[in-house]
Structure formats: C-alpha cells, structure tokens
Amino acid sequence: MELKNAELERYARHIVLPGVGGAGQKALKSARVVMIGAGGLGAPVLQYLSAAGVGHLVIVDDDHVSLSNLQRQIIFRTDDLGRPKADAAADAIAGLNPHVVADPRNTRITAENALSLFDGADAVVDGSDNFETRYLVADAAHLGCVPLVSGTVGTFDGYVTTFRSSEIADDGRPNPTYRCLFPKGADRQTIPPCEEAGILGALAGVIGSLMAMEVLKLITGAGDCMIGRQLLYDGRDGRFETIRYRWRPGNPLNGTGGRFRDLSHHTAQEVADIPT
C-alpha cells in the first residue's frame, strides 16, 4: 500500500527511523487493530495509533461519555458528554488523522461476537476494566490467532504485556496465554473499580502509551514485544519492574489437556468461570 505525499511528510519521523522506515509505515497503513474499550487506556492507545497511521481502527465500547471520564479519558471533550464513546472517539481520530479509518462499534464484546470482531485483525488491544471481559478477549484472541496487547491500571500502578499464545516459542513450547499469567480471576473486594478506589488520571496515559508501543512493534517488527514478560509500573514511587511468566501446561487453552475450542456457546461469565 503506497503512501501519499501528505503521508510521507506526516510520517517523516517514522520513515527515517531505523527499524520502521517506509516498509514499516506501509505496514501500519495496511493494519487493522481492534481496541476493546475507549476509556482511560483506550484513549491514549487510539490517539497514538491514529497519529502513527494505523490504517483501520475498530473501536468497541457500549458506554457513553460522562463528566467523571474527562479527568483521564483525554480523547474526549466537554462537548462529547452523553455521546457514545465509540462515536466520539472516532470523530476525534478523524480530526487527528484523515488517513485513518475509525470504525466505531457501539456494542459490548460478547462470546457471540468476539471472533467476528477480531476477524482480519493484526492486533487486539484490551483496555477493559474487569476480569470477565479480559478472559473473554484473551480467549477469543487466542482462538482467532490474533496477537493481544493487554494492560490494566489501578490507583497509582499498572501493567502491560503482550500475548501471541497461538504461536510456538523458540524453545518449542507454546507461548503463554492470559490464563497462564492469571489462572484465577479477582473479585470486587480484591480489585475495586476506579469509581470506588480512584485513579490518578495521568497513569492511564503512561500505561496506554506503553500499550500503543507494543502494538507499533507488533506491526512494524521493530524491537522485541513483551511476550512472556509483564512490565509493572508503580507511579507512586516512579519505578518500573519486569517479571517473566511461562506457559502453564494446565491452562485450558493451549495446555496439554486443553479442551476449550469454541466461544460461540459460552457467555462471558461462563468463559471466565472455565476451570484452570
């Protein structure tokens, strides 16, 4: 896919960048990325991916913009209050980069629509805010053979990691799944939602920007993605740490006894309840 003259100027800093160059920018233009959630994490991810020239961004969110969102969901403006988040985010993307197709889906991801939403995607980005949805997104990405970038924020901390669980690692074992990293979910008492616990707004920008970096590396091939590694950020102390995690043979997706192969007959809660 050729770049127009206006795109050559717009993306000039990418094109002269070793590891990206013209070929990488063309790959970005041809890419289709699905963003689950247009909230605190989705906002910076969508902004940076659209600015980078990712050609097709699918935005999946069934929520509406509220006043309390604006403290951290910086893709929205006060005039967007009450609008569907997916639509408002798509309009913001159009204003930032007319060369990007923003495809709003005002729906919640479910076991029934997940695989169709991910069809043809080069990457899925999970910015959801609950374990049930994260398990569903990760399982669907695995079954659809689509790389997944996952991130989460707390009050002052967050993490980022990348999954290519449908692929084999260099050591001959499968890459780890989300269920290898999180074999059991967490309830509201363990991780309360941000409306109860609060969140420092800029934290979403830190973690969302790191998630966007992972997507850009996946598409261009520049650098090593965080497969089997989880990057942890403590905003209160200003500290980054990295932990490693491995494929777990007992996981129900690509484990030695893996039996979960079809999303179509499961609700999101049933997916989250699959034993590990």
Which positions are annotated as active-site residues?
194
Cα–Cα distance, 100 to 89 (Å, whole number): 12
Sole residue written with tokens 């980069």: 97
Give me 230's structure tokens: 């989880």
Cross-strand bridge partners of residue 32: 56
Give backbone dihedrals phi and psi of 151, rounded to 5 degrees, phi first: -145, 155
Task: Determine phi and psi for 15, rounding to 5 degrees.
Answer: -65, -30
Instruction: For residue 64, give both structure tokens.
Output: 């509406």
- Polymer length of the chain: 276
What is the spatial distance between Cα 133 and Cα 271, in angstroms, rounded to a whole number?
Answer: 9
Pairing relation of β-strands 56-60 and 239-244? unpaired
Rounded to whole angstroms, the Cα distance separating 74 from 70 reads 6
